[in-house]
Amino acid sequence: MDQSERLSRPKVDAIETILGKPFSVLDDGFVRVVDYMGDDAAIVLAARVSYGAGTKKVQEDSALIRYLMRHHHTTPFEMCEIKFHVRVPMDTWRQWIRHRTASVNEYSTRYSLAIDASQRTPETAWRLQSTENRQGSSGFLDSKAGANLSATEDELQRQARKVYEERLAAGVAREQARKDLPLSTYTEAYWKVDLHNLLNFLQLRMHKHAQAEIRSYAAIIGQEIVAKWVPTVWQAFLDYRDQAVTFSRMEASIVAAIAAGKQDHAKSLAEQFGLLNRNPDGSLKANRERRELQEKLSMMGLTFNWT
């Protein structure tokens, strides 16, 4: 090893130009990058320490990154780190904070006045309860009914703030005065996370089953920030994780039968796996796993007639 070897810090121009810039999210939230460590190349360097002198052939960095992503060799992705300053409704923050492998400093409403802003819902943005997914939403309330709800919301938020301020005026401690603030109240935090854990966060929170609010944060972080910071990693993430399709043991055998042109065998497997249970009248019972398989087949442009 050359004792005179010197390094300079990896620098990513596309991130430097947005450092500190707040990307707006929701009506009054934002995400901004405060600092970052590493780039695409830093991952390769770290991986090659673990590969050492063995990597004598010139192997393209991109190919290595894609290989690591494909084979779940996740530790090199921990070698990049990013720090955000975010402004988020507390309700969304409750979901965000469930990701434990990150460092957090949140604005303290014991020490300081609560931020005087709550997430408001426009009259066209009230989402209907999904009938298919107990924990999801689907479609929107009509704007007239929505207008009523928005007006009531506004009133409730004002009332809650007024109560908060009356308590403070009466001398009540901030830590207690805040107790009835609505979950829609904005909070701010520093959030620092390594790239591997950030990708896990994005995979879960960009998912169509994630709640709309946190999805909008995840989308910004993914598309506006990570895509610029580590473009090779981002593309590999899309190709091998986000847009990959996984078939269970049972599904794989059904797909194999379909692909081999054995429709009857596919059907018989589906029956055997309990996907084709029937109602007394002979119609197919609703079955979540069959519906999921159906969705995957559709994504791949395949059709299959279960009946």
Question: 83 to 142, contacts with a copy of itself by CB under 8 A?
Answer: 83, 85, 89-91, 94, 97-98, 100-101, 103-108, 110-113, 115, 118-119, 121, 126-130, 134-138, 141
Sign of CA dihedral 207, 25, 126, 182: positive
Are 111 and 104 in contact by the 8 Å Cβ rule? The answer is: no
Are 218 and 206 in contact by the 8 Å Cβ rule? The answer is: yes
Buried-exposed string 122-156: b where 16+ CB fall within 10 A, e elsewhere? ebeebeeeeeeeeeeeeeebeeeebeeebeebeee
Give the x/- contact pattern for a copy of itself in 171-200, rule: CB under 8 A: xxxxxx-xxxxxxx---xxx-x-x------
End-to-end CA distance of the chain: 68
Concerning whether 127 is annotated as a catalytic residue, the answer is no
Sheet strand arrangement including 103-106: 23-25, 29-37, 81-89, 186-194, 103-106
Give yes or no for residue 231 binding a copy of itself (CB under 8 A). no
CB atoms within 10 A of CB 106: 15
Q: Which is nearer to a copy of itself, 4 or 282 (CB)?
A: 4
Q: Which is nearer to a copy of itself, 135 or 282 (CB)?
A: 135
Question: 207 to 226, contacts with a copy of itself by CB under 8 A?
Answer: 209, 211-212
Are 85 and 25 in contact by the 8 Å Cβ rule? The answer is: no
Question: 137 to 166, contacts with a copy of itself by CB under 8 A?
Answer: 137-138, 141, 145, 149, 152-153, 156-157, 159-160, 163, 166
Question: 66 to 85, contacts with a copy of itself by CB under 8 A?
Answer: 67, 70-72, 75-76, 78-79, 81, 83, 85
Give yes or no for residue 277 binding a copy of itself (CB under 8 A). no
Catalytic residue among 32, 174, 178, 205: 205
Q: Which is nearer to a copy of itself, 5 or 282 (CB)?
A: 5
- Nearby residues of 83 by Cβ (< 8 Å), 6 or more positions away: 33, 34, 35, 36, 190, 191, 192
Selected binder of a copy of itself within 14, 244, 284, 286 (CB under 8 A) = 244
Selected binder of a copy of itself within 14, 21, 272, 284 (CB under 8 A) = 21
Burial degree of 88 (CB within 10 A; 0-12, 13-18, 19+): buried
Catalytic positions are: 205
